Chains A and B, each alone.
Chain A
Amino acid sequence: MLQGKATWVFNNPPTIISTGTVGGPFEEKGNIADDFDLFFSDQWMEEKSFEQAHRHLIEEASTIALKKGNVDRENINFFLHGDLINQITPSNFAARELKIPYLGLFSACATSMEGLALSSLLVSEGNANYVLTGTASHTNAAERQFRYPNEYGSQKPDTSQRTVTGAGVALLAKNGNGPKVTSATIGKVMDEGMTDPFNMGGAMAPAAFDTIKQHFLDRNIDESYYDLIVTGDLAKYGRMICLDLFSKNQQPITEDKFQDCGLMIYKKEQSVFAGASGPACSAVVTYGHLLKKLKNKEYKRILVVATGALLSPLTVQQKQSIPCVAHAVSIENIN
């Protein structure tokens, strides 16, 4: 049901009955390795190209989610998935193998919550019984598309981020045991004229701020409602800016409560500059790490705000600014 301007409050909150999260070797050395289902020992995942390895990640995460949820593939109504690669081919090709009716999504790194919001809407309104949704990214495939060849020697600034190699998939059902998706706020595209593709956090912070503000307004709540508000990949500086924007708006958010997936996944000594990024960043952290904490009752209510920079290599070369979007989804333990 629409509440306020841009928020859906789900009348029949769908349950996340299972998830599948996979990662690469660099993620295995990270901070939340225990919360992944599977790791690959190299970036190729036994495939011939990074793009095919990317597809492999999605297939593997989806298979794991189906197996853990104990639901037959034939019973899944829809598969909503997206990634960063041109024409989202890794998702399209994975959907070819899965043979589930498919909707391809793109909101860059905000795709994870776009997928979860739409899937929840489908299930809540009775338009589906089971929906599989997720996002993936592959650092080498993203690097070669958006920046330079992987082995090219160039100096990156401290504001740059490392794309996560991995895939995170969630299986939603009408009923069942597990945390429930209670509401979603769809963000509008924000552009503050930032042009540096090595500073996505700074470009995306206003979009995250705007969506969270809208979410509070629409649901008539404040930060105290949630145990955790977690952004997708604002990383170190984007998070600082977003926190500051809230303070300036007389709506301060407790610093401990406001976290970022891009700062959770890797260890400090892994030197990933400002933090992690990529569609998989919010997906693996939410569906692996945070969902586990919800199930353990460490958290009761969390708000996941996935942030996406909607740029392409072409728009960067043509000196266009970076439009950004953020979508927020609340996941709660209701019993």
Chain B
Amino acid sequence: MAKQQTNYQKYESKIEPKRPVLKNCLKAFIIGGIICVIGQLISTFYMYFFNFTEQTVGNPTTATLIFITMLLTGFGVYDKIAQFAGAGTAVPVTGFGTAVISAAIEHRTEGFVQGVGGNMFKLAGSVILFGVFSSFLIALIKTIFSYWS
């Protein structure tokens, strides 16, 4: 049975279209790059017109990008861009934004507490968890090394 299953899977994978990895990487690079350029422009704007430094400009830039993502997700445009861009829209902070916002929109039919509140971070929650946890680990390693040296 198990052998027959792998035979079918091998046979099926020959007919099934291959995912165009190279093309997807290229598209992700271009769209992801454009998002980063926009982020850089926003940063420069905040530093030039407001009292931000290179260290402090990260937060307002991220917030602005997430706000734009919120609008694009809400108006039903973001998922169309994402179909083209793939990782290009998933990896930058906009990917985090759409995960939170789309879940919030989706679950408003179940009310604000159990629906929006309970489900808003169902996709993005693991990003927060493992993001915070890995930052903790890196900080720990850095602390140990700097203590010894």
Binding site for B on A (CB under 8 A): 48-51, 144, 148-159, 191-194, 199, 202, 205-206, 237, 240-241, 244, 321
Contact = CB atoms under 8 A, between A and B. Distances in A.
A206 to B, nearest CB: 7
Contacts of B85: 155
B5 interface: yes
Nearest to A47: B109
B73 interface: yes
Contact of B102 (A148, A191, A205, A321): A148
Contacts of A157: 17, 19
A144 B17 contact: no
Interface of B: 2, 4-6, 8-9, 12, 15-17, 19, 24, 73-74, 76, 78-79, 81-87, 89-90, 95, 98-99, 101-103, 105-107, 109, 123
Contacts of A206: 8
14 contacts: A149-B103, A150-B106, A152-B99, A153-B78, A154-B90, A155-B24, A155-B85, A155-B87, A192-B9, A192-B12, A193-B2, A193-B5, A194-B8, A199-B16
Which among B6, B16, B24, B79 has the greatest number of chain A C-beta atoms within 10 A?
B16
Nearest to A157: B19
A152 B105 CA distance: 10
Nearest to B85: A155
A317 to B, nearest CB: 12
Contacts of A241: 12, 15
B74 A148 contact: no
Contacts of A150: 79, 102, 105-106
A154 B28 CA distance: 12
A160 to B, nearest CB: 10
Contacts of A149: 102-103, 105-107, 123
Contacts of A240: 15
Nearest to A155: B86
A151 B76 contact: yes
A94 B76 CA distance: 30
Nearest to B89: A153
B3 to A, nearest CB: 10
Contact of B15 (A48, A51, A244, A321): A244
Given A151-B76, A154-B83, 18 more contacts: A49-B109, A51-B109, A144-B106, A149-B105, A151-B78, A151-B102, A152-B99, A152-B103, A153-B81, A153-B82, A153-B95, A155-B84, A156-B83, A157-B17, A158-B19, A159-B17, A194-B9, A202-B16
A151 B9 contact: no
B32 to A, nearest CB: 12
Contacts of A49: 109
Contacts of B81: 153
A81 to B, nearest CB: 23
Contacts of A237: 15-17
The 7 closest A-B pairs by CB, nearest first: A153-B82, A193-B5, A149-B106, A152-B102, A49-B109, A155-B86, A149-B102
B98 A50 contact: no
A335 B9 CA distance: 45
B83 A155 contact: yes
Nearest to A140: B106
Given A48-B109, A193-B9, A194-B9, A153 B90 contact: yes
A163 to B, nearest CB: 15
B8 A151 contact: no
A200 to B, nearest CB: 12
A151 B98 contact: yes
Contacts of A202: 12, 15-16
Nearest to B95: A153
Contacts of A155: 24, 82-87, 90
A270 to B, nearest CB: 14
A262 B99 CA distance: 29
Contacts of B109: 48-51
Nearest to B74: A151
A151 B106 contact: yes
Nearest to B27: A155
